[in-house]
Amino acid sequence: MTTVWHNPRCSKSRAALEAFTGSGREVRVRRYLDDPPTSAELSEVLDLLGLEPWDITRMGEDRARELGLASAERERERWIAILVANPVLIERPIVLTEDGRAAVARDPETLRSLL
């Protein structure tokens, strides 16, 4: 089953969810703002993505500025804890496919590659 970490207020997240549900795939929607990932879950997803937490952090968010993340030391466990405590900072949509692929599917090319 494909899982989409979804924020319904985000147009790119809505587009990804529509693409997957329209493809006939079974989709699990993870409203990560209401149901934030645990540190272990986020670490596992980062490993699947091949990224670090700062790579999926929405640095333009007010909360990122309040926390001073632009100049914060890049220490993986600390950043994971920050994202878990502040899920609004997690880039979206994150798509996890049933065959083990994962991506931040913000652009049409990435989205198509997962379909």
Q: What is the set of active-site residues?
A: 10
CA distance 30 to 13: 11
Q: Are 104 and 93 in contact (CB under 8 A)?
A: yes
Residue pair 26/1 in contact (Cβ under 8 Å)? The answer is: yes
Strands (E), the chain: 2-5, 27-30, 94-96, 102-104
User: What is the length of the chain?
Assistant: 115
